[in-house]
């Protein structure tokens, strides 16, 4: 491929800042910049540091869910 043809190739995904450190993302570890940042994020999910908020389910004394 010549230099002119390389310039016309569009990337599959736009380069974005790594959500962990802010450096540009890499194709093989997208959206992270490195395997290290990818593993840091995974560890946070597995340790419970990231939590998706929701309502607690409260049961009635007989064990059935409350009806509104």
Q: Would you call the peptide bond into 18 cis, given omega within 30 degrees of 0 as the criterion?
A: no
User: So where are the chain's domains?
Assistant: 13-47
Beta bridge partners of 17: 24
21 marked among binding-site residues:
yes
14 vs 62: CA distance, rounded Å: 54
Q: Where do we find the tokens 């560890």? A: 43
33 marked among binding-site residues:
yes
Give one DSSP letter per residue of 1-67, joined into a string: --HHHHHHPPPSS---B-TTT-SBP-GGGTTSSSHHHHHHHHHHHHHT-S----PPP-B-TTSSBPP
26-57 pLDDT, tens digit per residue, is: 989 999 999 999 999 999 999 999 888 888 77
18 marked among binding-site residues:
yes
Lowest mean pLDDT among 3-7, 11-15, 18-22, 37-41: 3-7
């Amino acid at each position: 491929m010549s230099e002119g043809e390389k310039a016309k190739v569009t990337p599959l995904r736009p380069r974005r800042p790594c959500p962990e450190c802010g450096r540009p993302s890499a194709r093989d570890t997208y959206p992270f910049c490195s395997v290290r940042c990818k593993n840091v994020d995974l560890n946070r999910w597995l340790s419970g540091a990231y939590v998706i908020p929701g309502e607690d389910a409260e049961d009635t004394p007989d064990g059935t869910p409350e009806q509104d």
